[in-house]
Structure 1
Amino acid sequence: MRLGFFTGRNGQPSTSLSWSVRLKIVKGAARGLAYLHECSPRKFVHGDVKPSNILLDNEFQSYISDFGLNRLINITGNNPDSSSGGFIGGLPYKSIQTERTNSYRAPEARVPGNRATQKWDVYSFGVVLLELLTGKSPELSPTTSTSMEILDLVRWVRKGFEEEKPLSDMVDPMLLQEVHAKKEVLAVFQVALACTEADPEIRPRMKTVSDNLERIGS
């Protein structure tokens, strides 16, 4: 299954995942991205990290999918508007072009002509972390109760921490049932905030992100 099933169309969780399961998912995904960045011969950039590109098996082990499809589509000249799927390396895929959103892209990735970097993946992964933590979709543009200002998920969370709002105001209500997880949830929030820094030079490497997540709950 794809991790994209986590949030529904209204930004509310469409299924209940315990904190231990969510932590297992993000740790596995982080290890996969760190491997692409650090251990692959060319130190690849995924370029399209989002929940629907994180596959889960029956044990909720994570697998990074759709790696390199942007490059493949450009090479083959396939219609970018096609919503058809297919197989690469024996694995089924859906065209990444079917999800037209900038919600997971780093600010610099939204500028036409900029070359993809590994720090793009780090930012995108940070947005995925925030989605799992808050139970909100980054496409929802949450608003504050005292302002009509429209914020994306990253800015909404940052604003919450700047205003020292209670963690309960930002975290997915499903997680509040697990009192023991509060410190771990806060630690993952800190990792996510580091990943979503506006300046790519400040963002950590994916290997550092993975190492920090592995220490949480261990």
Structure 2
Amino acid sequence: MLVPGKNGQPPSSSTLSWSTRLRIAKGTARGLAYLHECSPRKFVHGDIKPTNILLDAEFRPHISDFGLSRLVTITGNNNNNNNPSSSSSGFMGGALPYLKSAQTERPNNYRAPEARIPGNKPAQKWDVYSFGVVLLELLTGKSPDLSPTSSSAVEVPDLVRWVRKGFEEENPLSEMVDPTLLQEVQAKKEVLAVFHVALGCVEVDPEVRPRMKNVSENLDRIGT
């Protein structure tokens, strides 16, 4: 279920404190690690994005839409406008300060680079990359569907490159993090640590990306 805000509206960005965002990230990582390592088969979700991570009343994340993307492909019905997973609901679409239109078809910028090549066999490292993009979205409050701008107002292709460029140029953390989190001074070290976890997940080379088990363990060490 989705968590409603006041008068049944989606919650505002201020609803998600840093501790809540970190709890969501940790819970999602544990769920993916279970799918990858502990389930009867070593599954690949294949479509990790905010609209497929739902929250209950305690802000506990639940990974949804498992297997639906493959089912749609098998049946040949790949119309994104009719796919429930393309709606603007979900913990990020409702809780961060932008809404994505379900009517406009956009590329899936949560997908790993190798996942965008037709014919490639799904792999667990695809999920790792997608989770990394979700983490960056939690941290920055920006959608990967948008083209955020740097301090020099030069557009960059996507959220992953924008964040990586910011770290390479040693830009202040305040230029990249969601302004809502700047009010939580004590969270700075934890935010920086999660940025590094996220950047490891979105490495271009899938062999360099960590396994979800390691990602989950690294996140669990933050804030404890």
Task: Give the TM-score taking structure 2 as reference length.
Answer: 0.83
135-144 or 178-187, which deviates more = 135-144
Structure 2 residue 224 is matched with structure 1 residue 193: no
The answer for the alignment partner of 1:48 in structure 2 is: 47
5+ residue gaps, structure 2: 6-10, 88-101
What SS does structure 1 have at the residue aligned with 2:180?
helix
| 1:81 to partner: Cα distance | 1.6
Work out the percentage of aligned pairs sharing the same amino acid: 73
CA contact (8 A) 1:108 1:114 kept: yes
Distance 1:150 1:74 in 2: 31
Distance 1:2 1:151 in 2: 31
Given residue 163 of structure 1, which amino acid in structure 2 is its aligned partner?
A: E
Given residue 62 of structure 1, which amino acid in structure 2 is its aligned partner?
A: P
How do 1:96-107 and structure 2 match up within 5 A? 100-107=106-113
Structure 2 residue 85 is matched with structure 1 residue 79: no
Structure 2 residue 150 is matched with structure 1 residue 144: yes
The answer for the alignment partner of 1:8 in structure 2 is: none
The answer for the alignment partner of 2:92 in structure 1 is: none
CA contact (8 A) 1:83 1:95 kept: no
What SS does structure 1 have at the residue aligned with 2:13?
coil
Would the alpha carbon gap of residues 67 and 140 (structure 1) be closer, same or farther in structure 2, given more than 3 Å must change?
same
CA contact (8 A) 1:2 1:51 kept: no
| 1:176 to partner: Cα distance | 0.5
Deviations 1:9-33 (A, max 9, x none): xxxx943210000001010000000
| 1:43 to partner: Cα distance | 0.2
The answer for the alignment partner of 1:212 in structure 2 is: 218
| 1:143 to partner: Cα distance | 2.4
The answer for the alignment partner of 1:66 in structure 2 is: 65
Task: Give the TM-score taking structure 1 as reference length.
Answer: 0.85
Distance 1:161 1:83 in 2: 36
The answer for the alignment partner of 1:90 in structure 2 is: none
| 1:136 to partner: Cα distance | 0.4
Would the alpha carbon gap of residues 83 and 159 (structure 1) be closer, same or farther in structure 2, given more than 3 Å must change?
closer
Would the alpha carbon gap of residues 147 and 214 (structure 1) be closer, same or farther in structure 2, given more than 3 Å must change?
same
Would the alpha carbon gap of residues 158 and 37 (structure 1) be closer, same or farther in structure 2, given more than 3 Å must change?
same
CA contact (8 A) 1:25 1:61 kept: yes
| 1:142 to partner: Cα distance | 1.5
